[in-house]
Amino acid sequence: MQKHRTSIEFPEDLWRQLSGRISARRRTAFIIEAVRDKLIRESMRCLILCGGFGVGMGPLSKSIPKAMMPVGYKPLLEHIICKLRDQGFHYFILAVSHLSEHIMRYFGDGGSLGVKIDYSLEKFPLGTAGAIKNAGSKLNGRFLVVYGDILFNGLNISGLLGFHEEKNAIATMVLARVEDASRFGLVSVDDHGRVIAFREKPKQPVPGFVNTGIYVFEPQILDYIPALTYCSLEEHVFPALIEKEKLYAYPYNGYWVDIGSPEDYEQAWKDYFAGLIE
């Protein structure tokens, strides 16, 4: 993670108050912690959706959430958090439900990873969009959403955010190129980067761009999601955004894998040992 040296100037009266209340030995640590807390409160937040039942993983996900399944000796979820932390994200909200105690016990408040972690608990399945609505009170502006059962390497988050802002989008989805899109379906995009349609899964293996489960959203996305009911981004929210020409796609050519089956999980381990996953 790149580090930068900076300086902070305090008004004279504020410095006198600080000097009178905090000993010289503790002053630097106090200031660093105060600034860190302020940045955490005001920084862009990342919501990770990890409340699914992991049905496609069969018996593997009966006793452990899919997001907690290890790849390279640490959980999928930890890979995601560390990858985003190293690109400047420090405040994470984990949307949890199925076997949530495993996730909460392992990560706690995030201190061991140098981040802040909060939790949004689903009492019943709400779907990908419903989980976002459920966490709405914990969001503070533009935010990132990532599915908790994917792995990626090489995605430039600054580039993604710049693209999103330039397009004045309500939502931007990251697309990854795969050699076989038959499992996912293809996303059609116009010359301006707007998503214009989701194509059905092709019957034969064909290459193309597919939805990665990584998004940037503006707070207005919450207006498209009903409260306390099941709602899917792909089925219910994105069609409405396409109609308003407010859904954009950011193409990404780096490593990406969706852990949707035991075969995907096995491939992720092979990719780890091949050095494709850090």
The position carrying tokens 């200031």 is 31
Q: Are strands 186-189 and 255-258 parallel, antiparallel or unpaired?
A: unpaired
**What CA–CA distance (Å, rounded) separates 249 from 167?**
10
Selected catalytic residue, list 38, 62, 201, 270: 201
Q: Fill in the DSSP letter of residue 41.
A: H
Q: How wide is the angle at C-alpha 159 spanned by C-alphas 270 and 78, nearest 5°? A: 40
131/126 Cα distance (integer angstroms): 6
Q: What are residue 76's phi and psi, to 5 degrees?
A: -50, -45
- Would you say 252 and 155 are in contact if contact means Cβ atoms under 8 Å apart? yes
Q: In what order do the strands lie in the sheet with 208-217?
A: 116-121, 91-96, 45-49, 143-147, 208-217, 171-178, 247-252
- Reference 180, options 251, 239, 257, 238; nearest CA is 257
CA atoms within 13 A on the CB side of 33: 6
- Is 167 part of the annotated catalytic residue set? no
Catalytic residues: 201
